[in-house]
Structure 1
Amino acid sequence: MKNSLAYQYGYGLFETIKVESSKLLFLDDHIERLASSATQINMPVEPLKNLKNRAYLYIKENNIKNGILKIMYIKDTNYKVEFLYRENPYSQHLYEKGFKINFSDSKRNPYSNMVYLKTNNYLENILEKNNSKSLGFHEPLFLNVHNHISEGATSNIFFVKNNIVYTPSINCGLLNGIIRKNLIKFCKQNNIQLIEGEFSKEFLLDCDEVFVTNSILEIMPVSMIENNSFNIDTYNLTKEIYNKFCDYMRKEG
């Protein structure tokens, strides 16, 4: 293992999947993204064969009902898949209070293919998230090199103004999160106007509602961006999306 590219250089990919009542939410989407990413970094897809059955076998054998399953696909002496489990750290209390986020000094580079892949080389995200926590925030938000809003360290961001939902487009240099992808699809199916594009920090701070998404958080309201407060009690559209999308997710996912 110590001589492997995975150990020495982080050569590999991962997916983080929510386990709820012994169901792996959006597992097919996660496997599809993993296989697509593997092809882009010259890793064979053959070792991912029957991955869905193997993932469910792992949670069954380990009696996992709820929590988080991490699937790692790495380059060791050969290519292999590993499973890891951890508990979900997010409580209902946090959803009631909302996330506090700050702007990272690091910039996303939309010209690098790596920002679009979920690789094991995650050090920048970890360091920036730890720095945010030390300052009293939950999540850092990255701008890209053109000073457009990009993504959080572990999340995608959405914002609402005049009942229109906005989110940065993929070419802003971000990972197309599984919840992001499905939420965009959901909004289109439910006639909720959503615009993908390039947005400034000033536009974000002038919005009425802000929330972040990932496969574990699902939809988390944002109550503060640095020293700018948002009243999540007035988040009417976010609440509507959250309630309807949760039902959709448990049917589709």
Structure 2
Amino acid sequence: MSDEARADDLLYHVDGDLRPADEATVSVEDRGFQYGDAAFETLRAYGGDVFGWDAHADRLAETCDLLAIDHGLAREDLHDRIRETLDANDLDDAYVRLSISRGVQPGKLDPDPEVDPTVVIVVKPLPRVELDGQSVWDGPATLRTVSTQRIPDAAVPARAKTHNYLNGILARIELRGTDADEAVMLDAAGHVAEGATSNVFAFDGDGLLTPALSGPVLPGITRATVIDIAEEEGIPVREVTIGPDALRTAEEMFCTNSTWEVRPVESVDGASVGGGPVTDLLAQRYRERVEETFY
């Protein structure tokens, strides 16, 4: 069956009901559509359940608190809806996106305190990487530093994962016409913040370097897992302020997010970097953690 045919057969979860993908719609007056006034999480499912649910649920709750979206839904209810959607689609290994918007309200900028949330769960097949299998990504990432800056925390908190992803979209648009498939975004001071959809790590011989969360950096769930694994393996991790030269001159580099897991970087701004033994070890240990959790 083709991917297109498979997508047409999928069921999505919208406000408590399972609906065919082509019927899974929300109102044009929904604030998530009109203003990007919504929170979301991207998750990976393995073996019919999602990885790192508690961490994702914590981050989702923090985003909703920052947006003052008092949706009134228990995290176990949300978890059940995800598992119901996976079961309905007969999916064990999948991409999962959970969104909660403020819902439909009068067409004004000021949100009403009373919320009737819109809750949407989208799932798509995404095979897992088995311990001795091929990678989920097509190949190592090619990175390029872009001029689009990461939004300062004082404007939009980086820890808020919202539907308003225009910042990352503008960064990715800058990659058109280049060989790069991920953008390196800097903060206003010229320090590395993150990729458009990923956290970044470099290895310099003394350990791992990754931008500190004191900057405009999303606290990635995979990022935290990799740091935990590195500490278990005795690999020093420095969460610090770094410039783009630290990436270009690194011995190894990789990106992390829920769908890529640990993805080696081939080059940054034309400078060859590549993966290596540390990247390979962390990727392997990440896969082992998945296997131990679900299989």
Pair member with larger Rg: 2
The runs of 5 or more residues in structure 2 that have no matched partner are: 1-26, 105-115
Q: Specify the alignment match of 1:34 in structure 2.
A: 60
**Paired residue type of 2:90:** N
Task: Please say if residues 144 and 150 of structure 1, whose CA atoms lie closer than 8 Å, have aligned partners that are also in contact.
Answer: yes
Q: Specify the alignment match of 1:58 in structure 2.
A: 85
SS of 1:47's equivalent in the other structure is: coil
Moved beyond 3 Å, runs of 4+ = 87-97, 249-253
Q: Distance in 1 between matches of 2:98 and 2:136?
A: 26
Q: CA deviation at 1:229?
A: 1.0
Q: Specify the alignment match of 1:81 in structure 2.
A: 119
Q: Specify the alignment match of 2:141 in structure 1.
A: 99
Q: Distance in 2 between matches of 1:57 and 1:90?
A: 20
Task: Please say if residues 13 and 120 of structure 1, whose CA atoms lie closer than 8 Å, have aligned partners that are also in contact.
Answer: yes
**Paired residue type of 2:120:** E
Q: Residue 182 in 1 paired to residue 182 in 2?
A: no
Task: Please say if residues 143 and 180 of structure 2, whose CA atoms lie closer than 8 Å, have aligned partners that are also in contact.
Answer: yes
Q: Specify the alignment match of 1:237 in structure 2.
A: 278
Q: CA deviation at 1:143?
A: 0.7
Q: Residue 24 in 1 paired to residue 50 in 2?
A: yes
Task: Please say if residues 133 and 139 of structure 1, whose CA atoms lie closer than 8 Å, have aligned partners that are also in contact.
Answer: no
Q: Distance in 2 between matches of 1:42 and 1:138?
A: 34
Q: 1:231 to 1:9 in 2, by over 3 A?
A: closer
Of stretches 102-111 and 173-182 in structure 1, the one that deviates more from structure 2 is 102-111
Q: CA deviation at 1:102?
A: 0.4
Structure with the higher fraction of residues in helix conformation: 1
Higher RCO (C-alpha under 8 Å, 6+ residues apart): 1
Q: Give the structure-1-normalised TM-score.
A: 0.91
RMSD: 2.2
SS of 1:172's equivalent in the other structure is: coil
Structure with the higher fraction of residues in strand conformation: 1
Task: Please say if residues 208 and 230 of structure 1, whose CA atoms lie closer than 8 Å, have aligned partners that are also in contact.
Answer: yes
SS of 2:83's equivalent in the other structure is: helix
Q: Distance in 2 between matches of 1:120 and 1:212?
A: 22
Q: Give the structure-2-normalised TM-score.
A: 0.79
**How many residues were matched structurally?**
251
**Paired residue type of 1:98:** P
Q: Distance in 2 between matches of 1:93 and 1:214?
A: 14
**Paired residue type of 1:175:** L
